C-alpha cells in the first residue's frame, strides 16, 4: 500500500488530517508485515500505529490489552469510527464472549480485544489459531517484563502462544523506555528482527515543580491549588488509602478516591467518570490511569514521594497529553526521604520483585548485595535531583530526566493555566 493510501485511510477512518511524527513510518512497517517495537510517550498516539496497519492489511487485528477500561476506550473509539469490533474480558457475559468468538471465526471482526489472561483459558489460543489474525498488537507491552513497573505475569504466557498465530506481524507498544525492558519485550514475545521505533521523550508542555512542604500543610495546599480556575482535570497521588479518602473528601463532590481498598466496579466507575468529565479530580494510591486516554489532565500533584523515578515519569506523563501547558507538583520533605530509605532498607524484596525497582537503573546487576547498594543509591539519586529542583524553584525535567531551567524558573509554569486567568 502506497503511503498516500495510508494517509487516506487515516483521514477516512479517523478524520485526522495528518500523521503525527513517526506514526507513518511505524504504520508502513507493520502494514508491510514486519514485527515492530514502538516506544513513544503516553499520549503520543501509539494506538493508531496498530489500528491503521490492521485496517490496511484486512482481516482481524488481535489486540492484547491489560485493562478493561483501556480496552473499552479503544473499542468504543473504533466502533464510533464505524469499524467492527469485539472485546473479550471478565466484565462481559459468557454469551458475549461466545458471540465474539463466533464473529471472529466467521471473519466478521476488524478488531478483537482480549485480556492477556484469556490466553490461559484452555482452547482459547487454539480457537484463535483456527482463523489467524492479520496483525497482533500487544499494548502496554512493558507489562511482560519483570523489569518494568507494571509487571503482569499473564503477559508471560503470550510468548508461548503467539507462534501458533503467525505469520501475522506483532507490534509491541509501550511508553517505557529503559533499554532493558525493550530487550526483554523483544525476547519474551519472540519478535522477528523487529523494526525499532523509539521516540521523543521530551514533553515541553509539562512544567515540573518540586516544593518542600511539611505533611500537615499538603492537603490544604492541594485543595487551594485545584480550586484555581484551569487546574482541573487533575490527578493527585497519595501515600495511603486513608490519605486518599481524606483528601478526596476535602476536595468535595467532584473528587473521588481511587485505591486498592475499593471494589473493581467502584474503581471502574471512577475511571469512567474521570474520562467523561463528571469527576474532575482523582486522588489515587495505585497505578491510576495506565494507558487511559484522558488528554486534558492539567495538573498532577504528588503529596508523597513516587515509588521510583520511572513511576514518577509515568505518573507526571499523564498530564498534558493534548500538548497544552500543564503543571506537575511534587510536595516533599526530608522526612519522606528518610522513610523511603527505611523501606528500602527494611523489606529486601525477593529477587523477582527487585527487577521492578532496579529497572530505573537501566543497568544489569549481579549480586544481591550490589543491587541493594544500588537501590540505596537510586533513592539518593532521586532525592538529590528532587532537592536540586527544589533549590531552583520551578524547573522542567524532560522525560529522559534532564533538568532544564527556564529563563526565570519560578515563572516557568505561569505560561500555563495561570496565564488564562489574567
Binding site for Mg ion (CB under 5 A): 46, 291
Task: Rule CB under 6 A: say whether 142 interacts with ligand ADP.
Answer: no
Task: Rule CB under 6 A: say whether 293 interacts with ligand ADP.
Answer: yes
Q: Which does 43 bind (CB under 5 to 8 A by kind): Mg ion, ligand ADP, none?
A: ligand ADP
Residue 234: in which H helix or E strand, if any?
A: strand 234-237
Task: Rule CB under 6 A: say whether 198 interacts with ligand ADP.
Answer: no
Query: How far apart (Å, rounded) are the C-alpha atoms in residues 83 and 55?
Result: 9
Task: Rule CB under 6 A: say whether 42 interacts with ligand ADP.
Answer: yes
Q: Which does 44 bind (CB under 5 to 8 A by kind): ligand ADP, Mg ion, none?
A: ligand ADP
Q: Which does 295 bind (CB under 5 to 8 A by kind): Mg ion, ligand ADP, none?
A: ligand ADP
Task: Rule CB under 6 A: say whether 80 interacts with ligand ADP.
Answer: no
Task: Rule CB under 6 A: say whether 81 interacts with ligand ADP.
Answer: no
- Output the smallest distance, CB 304 to ligand ADP, in A: 25
DSSP for 106-136? TT--SEEEE-GGGGGSTTHHHHHHHS--SEE
Which is nearer to ligand ADP, 3 or 220 (by Cβ)?
Answer: 3
- Output the smallest distance, CB 300 to ligand ADP, in A: 15
Task: Rule CB under 6 A: say whether 45 interacts with ligand ADP.
Answer: yes
- Rg value, the chain, Cα: 22
Rounded to 10°, the helix 47-57/3-14 angle is: 110
Task: Rule CB under 6 A: say whether 200 interacts with ligand ADP.
Answer: no
Task: Rule CB under 6 A: say whether 201 interacts with ligand ADP.
Answer: no
Task: Rule CB under 6 A: say whether 400 interacts with ligand ADP.
Answer: no
Q: Which does 142 bind (CB under 5 to 8 A by kind): Mg ion, ligand ADP, none?
A: none
Query: How far apart (Å, rounded) are the C-alpha atoms in residues 251 and 34?
Result: 49
Residue 403: in which H helix or E strand, if any?
A: strand 403-404
- Output the smallest distance, CB 141 to ligand ADP, in A: 11
Task: Rule CB under 6 A: say whether 294 interacts with ligand ADP.
Answer: no
For 161, which DSSP code? H
Burial of 165 (0-12, 13-18, 19+ CB in 10 A): middle
Report yes or no: 43 and 314 within 8 Å, Cβ to Cβ.
no
Query: Which whole-number Å values give the CA distances from 112 to 16, 129, 144, 223, in the listed order?
Result: 23, 13, 20, 42
DSSP for 365-406? ---HHHHHHHHHHHHHHHHHHHHHHHHTSEEEE-TTS-EE--
Cell of 245: 479518602
Report yes or no: 403 and 397 within 8 Å, Cβ to Cβ.
yes
Query: How far apart (Å, rounded) are the C-alpha atoms in residues 99 and 87?
Result: 10
Stretch that binds ligand ADP, among 45-53, 145-153, 181-189, 342-350 (CB under 6 A): 45-53
**Binder of ligand ADP out of 295, 351, 373, 419 (CB under 6 A):** 295
Helix, strand, or coil (residue 325): coil
Report yes or no: 213 and 221 within 8 Å, Cβ to Cβ.
yes
Residue 187: in which H helix or E strand, if any?
A: helix 179-188
**Binder of ligand ADP out of 27, 30, 37, 40 (CB under 6 A):** 40
- Output the smallest distance, CB 265 to ligand ADP, in A: 24
- Output the smallest distance, CB 204 to Mg ion, in A: 21
Report yes or no: 142 and 185 within 8 Å, Cβ to Cβ.
yes
For 44, which DSSP code? S
- Nearest one of 312, 318, 281, 299 to 386, comparing CA atoms: 312
Task: Rule CB under 6 A: say whether 67 interacts with ligand ADP.
Answer: no
Task: Rule CB under 6 A: say whether 50 interacts with ligand ADP.
Answer: no
Which is nearer to Mg ion, 69 or 112 (by Cβ)?
Answer: 69
Task: Rule CB under 6 A: say whether 44 interacts with ligand ADP.
Answer: yes
Stretch that binds ligand ADP, among 41-49, 207-215, 347-355, 395-403 (CB under 6 A): 41-49
Q: Which does 19 bind (CB under 5 to 8 A by kind): Mg ion, ligand ADP, none?
A: ligand ADP
- Output the smallest distance, CB 40 to ligand ADP, in A: 5
What does the per-residue mask of binding to ligand ADP show for 19-38, with x meaning CB under 6 A?
xx--x---------------
Compute, in degrees rounded to 10, the torsion defined by CA atoms 68, 74, 77, 78.
Answer: -110
Which is nearer to ligand ADP, 86 or 137 (by Cβ)?
Answer: 137
Cell of 60: 482481524
**Binder of ligand ADP out of 28, 29, 30, 43 (CB under 6 A):** 43
Query: How far apart (Å, rounded) are the C-alpha atoms in residues 172 and 263?
Result: 30
Which is nearer to Mg ion, 80 or 335 (by Cβ)?
Answer: 80
Interacting residues toward ligand ADP by CB under 6 A? 16, 18-20, 23, 40, 42-48, 293, 295
Amino acid at each position: 500500500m502506497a503511503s498516500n493510501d495510508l494517509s487516506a485511510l487515516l483521514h477516512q477512518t479517523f478524520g485526522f488530517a495528518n500523521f503525527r511524527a513517526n506514526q507513518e513510518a511505524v504504520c508502513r512497517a507493520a502494514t508491510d508485515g514486519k514485527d515492530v517495537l514502538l516506544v513513544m510517550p503516553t499520549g503520543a498516539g501509539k494506538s493508531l500505529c496498530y489500528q491503521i496497519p490492521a485496517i490496511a492489511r484486512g482481516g482481524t487485528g488481535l489486540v492484547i490489552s491489560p485493562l478493561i477500561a483501556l480496552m473499552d476506550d479503544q473499542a468504543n473509539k473504533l466502533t464510533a469510527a464505524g469499524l467492527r469490533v469485539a472485546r473479550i474480558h471478565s466484565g462481559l457475559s459468557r454469551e458475549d464472549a461466545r458471540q465474539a468468538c463466533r464473529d471472529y471465526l466467521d471473519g466478521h471482526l476488524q478488531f478483537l480485544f482480549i485480556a492477556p489472561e484469556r490466553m490461559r483459558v484452555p482452547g482459547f489460543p487454539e480457537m484463535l489459531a483456527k482463523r489467524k489474525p492479520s496483525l497482533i498488537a500487544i499494548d502496554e507491552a512493558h507489562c511482560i517484563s519483570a523489569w518494568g513497573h507494571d509487571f503482569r505475569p499473564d503477559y508471560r504466557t503470550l510468548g508461548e502462544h503467539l507462534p501458533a498465530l503467525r505469520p501475522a506481524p506483532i507490534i509491541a507498544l509501550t511508553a517505557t523506555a529503559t533499554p532493558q525492558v525493550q530487550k526483554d519485550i523483544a525476547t519474551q514475545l519472540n519478535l522477528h528482527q523487529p523494526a525499532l521505533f523509539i521516540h521523543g521523550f521530551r514533553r515541553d508542555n509539562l512544567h515540573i515543580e518540586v516544593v518542600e512542604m511539611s505533611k500537615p500543610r499538603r492537603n490544604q495546599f492541594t485543595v487551594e491549588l485545584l480550586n484555581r480556575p484551569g487546574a482541573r482535570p487533575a490527578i493527585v497521588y497519595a501515600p495511603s488509602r486513608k490519605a486518599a479518602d481524606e483528601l478526596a473528601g476535602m476536595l468535595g463532590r467532584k473528587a473521588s478516591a481511587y485505591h486498592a481498598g475499593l471494589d473493581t466496579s467502584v474503581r471502574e466507575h471512577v475511571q469512567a467518570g474521570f474520562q467523561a468529565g463528571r469527576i474532575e479530580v482523582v486522588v489515587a494510591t495505585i497505578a491510576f490511569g495506565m494507558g487511559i486516554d484522558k488528554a486534558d489532565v492539567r495538573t498532577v500533584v504528588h503529596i508523597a514521594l513516587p515509588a521510583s523515578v520511572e513511576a514518577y515519569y509515568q505518573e507526571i506523563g499523564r498530564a498534558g497529553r493534548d500538548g497544552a501547558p500543564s503543571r506537575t507538583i511534587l510536595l516533599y520533605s526530608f522526612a519522606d526521604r528518610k522513610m523511603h530509605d527505611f523501606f528500602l532498607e527494611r523489606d529486601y524484596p525477593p529477587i523477582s520483585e527487585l527487577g521492578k525497582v532496579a529497572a530505573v537503573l537501566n543497568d544489569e546487576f549481579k549480586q544481591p548485595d550490589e543491587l541493594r547498594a544500588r537501590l540505596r543509591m537510586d533513592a539518593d539519586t532521586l532525592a538529590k535531583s528532587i532537592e536540586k529542583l527544589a533549590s531552583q524553584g520551578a524547573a522542567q525535567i524532560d522525560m529522559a530526566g534532564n533538568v532544564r531551567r527556564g529563563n526565570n524558573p519560578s515563572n516557568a509554569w505561569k505560561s500555563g493555566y495561570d496565564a488564562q486567568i489574567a
